[in-house]
Amino acid sequence: MSEDSLDPRQIEHDSIERGAMFGRTVKFFDEIGSTNDEAAREAVQGAPHGLVVIADRQLSGRGRTGRVWHSPAGQNLYLSVVLRPRHTLDRIAPITLVLGLAVSDLAADLLGIHRVGLKWPNDVLVGTRKLAGVLVDASSIDMQVEHLIVGIGLNVHQTEFDPSIASIATSLAKEGASELNRTRIASRLLAALEARLDEFDARGLTELVSEIRARDITLGRPVKVEGCYGIARGIADDGRLRVSFENGTTSLVHAGEVELAIYGT
Ligand code: BTN
């Protein structure tokens, strides 16, 4: 186990210093079920935009599509941010891609741009191995968003993984990153997320989609969408993934709606 303890007060200090919204208040837990669930509880009780929940260990960390997110103590980053977007649910649909782009910005800074890829919609990979994942939980009334909970899991020190993910997971330590201090990485992660979300808020996806495409590793790859095999044909302007299927049809697939498995890599 590493001695790299998390310092929530330092994260708050860094946030206030850079005049940011994310991380001005940080709730830290040695151990919790899921930081997304705790952040949702805070949001229901009126937590402000940018409140961060961070834990050293999660007992029931969640991934997309109901998977488990392995969350051992003292190793990685598990954090969630409360967002209160002013937009309707349809307008924020591509937000998950923007968050993946932000996490990949940080990974590229720490590891070198040429090594980092994005697997649509928001897995951050180094080569073919997963470094980080993003989970967005939305609460809305009709189309009006009450709050979003943005949860990020980023592997930092871990070098031994559960057998179920050992061949597909990696960490900053395994990849030889120059920075491995979890507190400093958390501050940089929050800054990256806020910067990209501000861009998205101001200009929508139009200017970001080319950067997302540049990191997309699915293009031309065989994929499986809800049991059907096809080939990824790139990301459309609205953020959906274009997939051509074996039966000759082409569909635009929404982020969050499907499980996408690349095979043959
Ligand atoms: C995925 O790739 O499937 C998404 C993984 C998201 C994991 C993070 S860890 C912090 C937050 N709390 C959770 O329970 N899940 C997210």
Ligand 1 atom at minimal distance to the Cα of residue 62: 14
* CB of 36 sitting under 6 A from ligand 1: yes
Closest residue by Cα to residue 189 from 111, 109, 86: 109
* Residue for token pair 């990301």: 235
Q: Which residue has the higher pLDDT, 239 or 86?
A: 239
For residue 53, how far is its CA from the centre of ligand 1 (angstroms)? 12
Q: Does the C-beta of 123 come closer than 6 Å to ligand 1?
A: yes
75 lines ligand 1 (CB under 6 A): no
Q: Which two tokens stand for residue 11?
A: 């994260």
Q: Which residue has the higher pLDDT, 123 or 90?
A: 123
pLDDT band at 264 (very low <50, low <70, confident <90, very high): very low
In the structure, what pLDDT confidence band is assigned to residue 265 with cuts at 50, 70 and 90? very low
Residue 66 has pLDDT above 90, yes or no: no
CB 34 near ligand 1, within 6 Å: yes
**What percent of the chain stands above pLDDT 90?**
77
Query: Cβ(35) to ligand 1 under 6 A?
Result: yes
161-197: pLDDT as tens digits: 999 999 999 999 999 998 999 999 999 999 999 999 9
User: How far does residue 56's CA lie from ligand 1's centre (Å)?
Assistant: 13
Report the pLDDT averaged over residues 103-116.
94
Distance, CA 247 to ligand 1 centroid (Å)?
A: 34
Question: Is the per-residue pLDDT at 34 higher than 70?
Answer: yes
Longest dimension (CA), the chain: 56
In this prediction, residue 263 carries a pLDDT of 55
Contact 135, 147 (CB under 8 A): no
pLDDT of residue 173: 97
Closest-lying ligand 1 atom to the alpha carbon of residue 79: 10
The reported pLDDT for the residue numbered 257 is 47
| Position 75 confidence tier, pLDDT thresholds 50, 70, 90 | very high
> Which pLDDT score, from 0 to 100, does residue 260 have?
60
- E strands, the chain, are 26-29, 52-55, 77-83, 116-119, 123-126, 129-141, 144-154, 222-225, 228-235, 241-245, 250-253, 260-262
CA distance 235 to 222: 15
The model's pTM is 0.94
Which residue, by CA, sits nearest to atom 3 of ligand 1?
Answer: 63
Mean model confidence pLDDT for the chain: 92
Q: Is the pLDDT of residue 256 over 80?
A: no
Span from the CA of 31 to the centroid of ligand 1 (angstroms): 15
